[in-house]
Amino acid sequence: MAVKTWHLQRRTFLRGAGVSLALPFMNAMAAGGEEKALQSLPKRAAFIFFPNGVSLPPEKDPQHEDWYWFPKGEGRTYEFRTSQAALNPFRENISVISGLSHPQNRNSGDAHVNPTGFMTAKDIVKGKTSLNSISIDQVISDFHRGQTQLASMPLSTVGGVGNLSRTYTLSFDKNGKGIPAWSNLKEIYERMYVANSPAAKARLREKTQLLNEIYRDAKDLKRNLGQQDQATLDEYLASIAELEKKVANDKLWADKGTHAAPPEMNLEIEFTDVENYIRTMYDLMYLAFKSDITRVATYQIASEGGTAPTNNLSKHIGIGKDLHQLSHSAAKGKDGFKDWGQWDQFVAQQLAYFIKRLGDAKEGDGSLLDRCLVFQGAATSKVHDNTNFPLILAGGKKMGHKAGQFVSYDEQANALSNLFVRIANSMDVPIEKFGDSSGIPMNELFA
């Protein structure tokens, strides 16, 4: 049985994490003064996805006032409605964005397929597309590879990759292959603190040995093959090399021994204990950022459509319908939009929790949140409508984010990819193009 023990144990690990955190900053202080020290602080980005869009009752509907996802007003004077009210305390750190989506990725008859392209902007068509393209988090992660123990943390509540029609991961590598997402809290924790256990070190040794062995085997076998088949084995050799690098990186971090002490946490939580599970995911992301274990994380709260195991999340929090029903029956039932809005409210409360944790953590001349961009969105505005994604960008004030406003873009002229380019830039990744970006600078959002 899952119990709400994380309330208690959070204190314990906060202490644990706090100690090592200050270290890089302190070292830099000693070496070259405050300004240099501040520059040495890492920048991070988190990308969060929830499925099926949001409640958007039409204006004439009595529920519009309270349960319409987008805020009232515009610019700096916007006001959150009921469903997003939990974000009010952080409004100076938040931008709400409307009018952005992936214009190229609207060609699938089954709109629940499109979220596969949420982070990649790739045109995903069921039965036709066999590979995705690289996701923006991986562009960032590849650039910073080697600087942290984990290049990135691909998280999802379901875990694995699913398939191209129903993805269970947000992250795709440079060849467009899904990166299996981590869903088991314990496993994530172990990966984060891998370096600390002797068993983990033994596993790393075993893997290194195995990789050496199979590399030799593959080289050997290649000799007797034709040209085409040699190419197949070359791909295999390349994957071994790629994996060797990762294992070497893990070993390096294990040997450094500069790790934060693993905090005590309750990790025996199933995702059916929805709030505890999601908050623990956020705790882990927070810890990974704070201890500089990774710079990039993605988290898929639930998978799109009516068939994923996470479809019942809403039922587990006491709403009478599953996620897919919420989105489909909104316009049909009397309280349909309100029901859906309550799920939106829940999602917002969890995001508020994450933002608060980041904001409460002091770092350098401000908080952890100042150097952490949190991007949250869905790949449809409402069900089956692949335009006008409901987007929130939080934090990152010291990364150039001009927070505190509701920005509306022209759906016809702009694309989410343009924002992705700026997010990557703010993470010091000097790209000019991503997906179907068109070079619009988005200066409203970034200095």
Partner 1 sequence: MIESILLKSLLALRLLFCGILLVCMPGFAWGDIQPDLNKFRQQVKPLLQKYCVACHGRQDFEGKIRLDNIDPNIVSGQHSGRWEDIREAFNSGEMPPEDQPQPTVTERLVITNWLDKEFKKWKRYGIPNRQGSVRRLTRYELQHALEDLLQISVADEVSVLPEESTSVETGLKNSSRLLMISGPHLESYLNVVLSVIQKMKRITAFEPYFEKFDIANLDTEPAVTFASEGRKNKPPVDKVERAGTGVLVNQGGYIDLPIRSISQYMFQTSLSAKAEKPGKLQVAIGFTHSEVDPRQKTEVLGTIDIAKSDELRTYSLNSYPEMLPTEMTRALDRPFFIRITNRSSQPIYLESFDYKGNVNTELTATLLPADIPGLDMTDHLRQKIYRFIEKAFRRSPSDAEFQKYYGIYQTHTRTEKAITALLSTYKEILCSPSFFYLGIPGDLSAEDKTNYKLAERLAFFLWCSVPDQALLESASMGELTKPSNLSSHIERMLRDKKSRRWVEHFTDQWLQTSNLFNVAVDRNYYPRFKPSLKELMRSETVESVNDVFRHGSPALDLLDANHIFVNQTLAVFYKIKGVKGTEFRKVVVNKNANRGGLLTQGTFLIGNSDGMNSHAILRGVWLSDVILNDAPPEPPKNVPPLDDSIPDFDKLTLNEKLFAHRNKAACKSCHEKIDPWGIPLENFDASGAWRDQVLVVSKAESGPEKAKKTNFNRDYIPIHRESILPDKVSIDGVSELKQYLIHHRKHDFGQGLVERLLAYALSRDLDYHDEDLVKQLVKRFEASNYSVPVIIHGIVQSERFRRGY
What residues between 248 and 307 interact with partner 1 by CB under 8 A?
305-307
Give 64: exposed, middle or buried? Use CB within 10 Å, 0-12, 13-18, 19+.
middle
3-state helix vs strand vs coil in the chain, percent to 5: 45, 10, 40
Residues touching partner 1, count (CB under 8 A): 78
Residue 33 makes contact with partner 1 by CB under 8 A: no
Q: Closest distance between partner 1 and the C-beta of residue 232, in Å?
A: 5
389/401 Cα distance (integer angstroms)? 19
CB 192 within 8 A of CB 319: no
Residue 324 makes contact with partner 1 by CB under 8 A: yes
**Residue whose CB is less far from partner 1, 306 or 400:** 306
Q: Closest distance between partner 1 and the C-beta of residue 392, in Å?
A: 20
Q: Pick from 2, 331, 431, 440: which binds partner 1 (CB under 8 A)?
A: 331
Q: Closest distance between partner 1 and the C-beta of residue 267, in Å?
A: 15
Task: Give the residue from 44, 48, 153 showing the smallest Cα distance to 392.
Answer: 48
Site for partner 1 in 196-215 (CB under 8 A): 206-207, 210, 213-214
Q: Pick from 386, 417, 418, 437: which binds partner 1 (CB under 8 A)?
A: 386
Give residue 222's identity as a one-letter amino acid code. Answer: K
The stretch among 7-15, 73-81, 194-202, 381-389 that binds partner 1 (CB under 8 A) is 381-389
The stretch among 80-88, 153-161, 189-197, 255-263 that binds partner 1 (CB under 8 A) is 153-161
Q: Closest distance between partner 1 and the C-beta of residue 295, in Å?
A: 18
244/141 Cα distance (integer angstroms)? 17
Q: Pick from 22, 23, 231, 413: which binds partner 1 (CB under 8 A)?
A: 231
Q: Pick from 2, 29, 85, 233: which binds partner 1 (CB under 8 A)?
A: 233
The stretch among 12-20, 162-170, 397-405, 426-434 that binds partner 1 (CB under 8 A) is 162-170
Q: Closest distance between partner 1 and the C-beta of residue 178, in Å?
A: 6
Phi–psi pair at 424, nearest 5 degrees: -60, -45
Residue 387 makes contact with partner 1 by CB under 8 A: yes
Residue 179 makes contact with partner 1 by CB under 8 A: yes
Q: Pick from 43, 166, 295, 338: which binds partner 1 (CB under 8 A)?
A: 166
Q: Pick from 226, 257, 318, 430: which binds partner 1 (CB under 8 A)?
A: 226
Residue 410 makes contact with partner 1 by CB under 8 A: no
Residue 65 makes contact with partner 1 by CB under 8 A: no
5/188 Cα distance (integer angstroms)? 18
Site for partner 1 in 109-128 (CB under 8 A): 109-112, 125-128
**Residue whose CB is less far from partner 1, 76 or 128:** 128
Q: Pick from 27, 163, 197, 212: which binds partner 1 (CB under 8 A)?
A: 163
Site for partner 1 in 45-64 (CB under 8 A): 56, 58-60
Phi–psi pair at 184, nearest 5 degrees: -85, 115
Residue 177 makes contact with partner 1 by CB under 8 A: yes
Residue 200: in which H helix or E strand, if any? helix 198-222
Residue 191 makes contact with partner 1 by CB under 8 A: no
CB 20 within 8 A of CB 260: yes
CB 441 within 8 A of CB 417: no
Site for partner 1 in 126-145 (CB under 8 A): 126-128, 130-131
Task: Give the residue from 419, 417, 426 showing the smallest Cα distance to 447.
Answer: 426
23/21 Cα distance (integer angstroms)? 5
Residues belonging to the chain: 447
**Residue whose CB is less far from partner 1, 26 or 131:** 131
Site for partner 1 in 418-447 (CB under 8 A): none
How many CA atoms does the CB half-sphere of 346 hold within 13 Å? 22
321/313 Cα distance (integer angstroms)? 9
Q: Pick from 63, 84, 93, 108: which binds partner 1 (CB under 8 A)?
A: 108
Q: Closest distance between partner 1 and the C-beta of residue 104, in Å?
A: 10
Q: Pick from 30, 198, 224, 318: which binds partner 1 (CB under 8 A)?
A: 224
Q: Pick from 143, 236, 253, 353: which binds partner 1 (CB under 8 A)?
A: 236
Assign residue 162 a region (left: φ > 0; alpha: ψ between -120 and 50; beta: otherwise): left
Axis-axis angle for helices 336-360, 274-290 (nearest 10): 30
Map residue 142 onto helix, strand or coil: helix
Token digits of residue 167: 């993805």
Residue 290: in which H helix or E strand, if any? helix 274-290
Q: What is the DSSP string of 204-269?
A: HHHHHHHHHHHHHHHHHHHTT--HHHHHHHHHHHHHHHHHHHHHHHHHHHHHH--PPPPPP-----
Q: Pick from 77, 88, 175, 258: which binds partner 1 (CB under 8 A)?
A: 175
